[in-house]
């Protein structure tokens, strides 16, 4: 498809039309950057979450689960550094009155230069054909080298300014690069200021002496403060991990791009506790393992890339993102961070209690180091949705299909009686009852069979099972495959196995 923005608009409209995602409080004109998941969306979201959980917890004997609270003791956030350092640099355009993240303005500028590199590569592929060597080209072509060094020097200046908290330098950089406000087109910028992203609330009435609480901005801290509880009760030995999924909240300055950047979202995080000095080995292990997880879903590997952080968070000694090529470009999907012993050490200090592990192998107590993998469930949802949205021409007609991996598809099979009479609905309901305990199925008898197929394609249902008059005679049905559109006659007593195999977790290992 031609225009990426156009495609993205279509994906967003499709998500609403087919009950995947609604704007929150739409009845009251909506709440910015907050979304609700509809009938198909909640199924897809559950399936992604389950796939992640199974891959982490079932498939790793040294990883266990946790479900900690959103509310935590307020000192947690002082200890974690979020009260003092969980800020975004913001800047306003005085003409449009629009607010931006200074880092995003700079990153978008750099992304445009990177786009020019991609264009040069495409031109060269056309020019050189089969003999083209991409690595050699990007390592030697003077124009590409010029673009690369420009990107590097911009990011370096930005990182240095942020590390030294020199917000004036960030503004100077924005001015020097000639970055304009996308709305007003002017360079009339305010100074850059820091803005804390945590939402505050209160527990208890004021008369009781209410205490200020924060809505957690990451699920990870619930894992850290439960480190000893889990380690002792589950009798875990280092190295081991704790996995958790749950809501997180951030008062994002610029929340845009649909569910990419939300103010209320869900994370799937795993903290892996290791012996000090072993963290780099495990960091590499989890980078590799998480990339494999993404590729296991059959998404083109060209759509993923690693991006090392130049600007490390206050807790990390190494960090990278797995970026996905969303319709609006390569953006962070998942973070892999080597968080050192920062968090546990800080909780030990602020709580006054020992948070240490006795390692029987080396007869020593220490505060473990941590490697974390952290992925936004909503971003993963957007990855699946935008990657699976396809418009095709079939026999001169348009077909819109969501080629969602069968394991994740909201509905696994649709059971469709060809007509509403002659006992076909009754037969179809018998089939439904064979399948529905284990697989979410839909029964549909309205409209022509072609229309019903198209509706199921549009929500990504892997199988349509059609019950016709022959079914009453020989107990067979037609099974139509979403992706190939091939139709096969199948005995009813084989259906359960057929659907099981299609959606089997083992297919994705």
Residues in contact with ligand GAP by CB under 6 A are 218, 220, 250, 252, 261-262, 265, 267, 269, 332-335, 372, 374-376, 378-379
Return the percent helix, strand and coil in the chain, to nearest 5.
45, 25, 30
- Measured from the CB atom, is 267 or 476 closer to ligand GAP? 267
In the block, which residue shows the tokens 């080298």?
A: 145
Residue 367 C-beta: closest distance to ligand GAP, Å: 18
* Phi-psi sector, 263: left (phi>0), alpha (psi -120 to 50), beta: alpha
**Pairwise CA distance, residues 196 & 423, whole Å:** 64
- Measured from the CB atom, is 245 or 471 closer to ligand GAP? 245
- Comparing CA positions, the residue from 393, 391, 395, 478 lying closest to residue 431 is 478
- Measured from the CB atom, is 252 or 430 closer to ligand GAP? 252
- Measured from the CB atom, is 334 or 341 closer to ligand GAP? 334
Residue 205 C-beta: closest distance to ligand GAP, Å: 31
**Pairwise CA distance, residues 316 & 159, whole Å:** 15
Residue 464 C-beta: closest distance to ligand GAP, Å: 34
**Pairwise CA distance, residues 251 & 192, whole Å:** 17
* Cis bond upstream, residue 78 (ω within 30): no
- Measured from the CB atom, is 100 or 147 closer to ligand GAP? 100
Residue 374 C-beta: closest distance to ligand GAP, Å: 4
Residue 380 C-beta: closest distance to ligand GAP, Å: 7
**Pairwise CA distance, residues 505 & 200, whole Å:** 40
Six-digit token string for 128: 């050189």
- Any residues with CB less than 8 A from the CB of 450 and at least 6 apart, and which? none
Six-digit token string for 155: 């990011």
Q: Which residue is nearest to ligand GAP (CB)?
A: 376
Q: What is the dihedral of CA 165, 166, 168, 174, to 10 degrees?
A: -80
Three-class secondary structure of residue 324 per DSSP: strand
Residue 262 C-beta: closest distance to ligand GAP, Å: 4
- Measured from the CB atom, is 248 or 367 closer to ligand GAP? 248
- Measured from the CB atom, is 189 or 286 closer to ligand GAP? 286
Tell me the H-state helices in 61-141.
75-79, 82-85, 102-128, 134-140
**Pairwise CA distance, residues 50 & 377, whole Å:** 11
Residue 36 C-beta: closest distance to ligand GAP, Å: 15
- Measured from the CB atom, is 147 or 326 closer to ligand GAP? 326
Three-class secondary structure of residue 359 per DSSP: strand
**Pairwise CA distance, residues 8 & 329, whole Å:** 11
Residue 160 C-beta: closest distance to ligand GAP, Å: 21
Residue 245 C-beta: closest distance to ligand GAP, Å: 11
- Measured from the CB atom, is 326 or 439 closer to ligand GAP? 326
Distance of CA 314 to the CA centre of its chain: 23
Q: What is the dihedral of CA 39, 41, 46, 52, to 10 degrees?
A: 170
- Measured from the CB atom, is 334 or 457 closer to ligand GAP? 334
Residue 45 C-beta: closest distance to ligand GAP, Å: 13
- Any residues with CB less than 8 A from the CB of 57 and at least 6 apart, and which? 63, 64, 65, 243
């Amino acid at each position: 498809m031609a225009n990426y923005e156009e495609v993205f608009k279509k994906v967003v409209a499709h998500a609403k039309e087919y009950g995947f995602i609604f704007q929150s409080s739409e009845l009251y004109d909506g709440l910015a950057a907050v979304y609700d998941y509809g009938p198909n969306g909640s199924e897809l979201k559950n399936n992604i979450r389950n796939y992640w959980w199974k891959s982490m917890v079932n498939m790793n004997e040294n990883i266990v689960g946790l479900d900690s609270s959103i509310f935590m003791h307020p000192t947690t956030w002082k200890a974690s550094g979020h009260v003092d350092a969980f800020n975004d640099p913001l800047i306003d355009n005085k003409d449009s009155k629009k607010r931006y993240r200074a880092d995003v303005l700079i990153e978008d500028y750099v992304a445009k230069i990177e786009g020019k590199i991609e264009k040069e590569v495409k031109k060269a592929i056309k020019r050189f054909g089969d003999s083209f060597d991409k690595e050699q080209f990007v390592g030697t072509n003077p124009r590409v080298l010029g673009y690369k060094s420009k990107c590097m020097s911009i990011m370096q200046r930005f990182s240095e300014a942020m590390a030294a908290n020199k917000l004036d330098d960030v503004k100077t950089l924005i001015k020097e690069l000639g970055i304009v406000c996308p709305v007003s087109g002017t360079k009339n910028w305010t100074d850059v200021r820091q803005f804390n992203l945590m939402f505050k609330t209160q527990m208890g009435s004021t008369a009781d002496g209410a205490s200020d609480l924060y809505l957690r901005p990451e699920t990870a801290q619930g894992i850290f403060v439960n480190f000893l509880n889990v380690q002792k009760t589950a009798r875990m030995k280092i190295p081991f991990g704790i996995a958790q999924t749950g809501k997180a909240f951030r008062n994002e300055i610029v929340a845009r791009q649909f569910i990419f950047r939300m103010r209320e979202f869900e994370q799937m995080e795993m903290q892996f506790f290791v012996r000090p000095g072993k963290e780099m080995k495990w960091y590499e292990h989890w980078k590799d393992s998480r990339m494999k997880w993404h590729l296991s879903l059959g998404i083109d590997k060209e759509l993923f890339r690693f991006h090392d952080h130049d600007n490390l968070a206050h807790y990390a000694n190494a960090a990278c993102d797995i970026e996905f090529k969303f319709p609006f470009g390569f953006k962070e999907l998942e973070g892999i961070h080597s968080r050192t012993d920062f968090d546990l050490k800080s909780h030990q200090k602020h709580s006054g209690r020992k948070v240490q592990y006795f390692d029987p192998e080396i007869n020593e107590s220490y505060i473990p180091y941590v490697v974390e993998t952290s992925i936004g469930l909503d971003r993963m949802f957007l990855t699946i949705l935008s990657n699976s949205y396809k418009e095709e021409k079939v026999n001169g007609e348009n077909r819109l299909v969501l080629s969602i991996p069968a394991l994740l598809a909201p509905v696994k099979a649709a059971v469709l009686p060809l007509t509403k009479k002659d006992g076909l609905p009754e037969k179809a309901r018998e089939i439904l009852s064979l399948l529905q305990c284990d697989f979410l199925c839909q029964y549909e008898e309205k409209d022509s069979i072609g229309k019903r197929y198209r509706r199921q394609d549009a929500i990504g249902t892997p199988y349509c099972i059609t019950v016709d008059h022959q079914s009453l005679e020989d107990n067979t049905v037609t099974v139509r495959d979403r992706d190939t559109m091939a139709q096969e006659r199948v005995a009813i007593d084989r259906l359960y196995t057929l659907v099981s195999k299609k959606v089997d977790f083992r297919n994705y290992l």
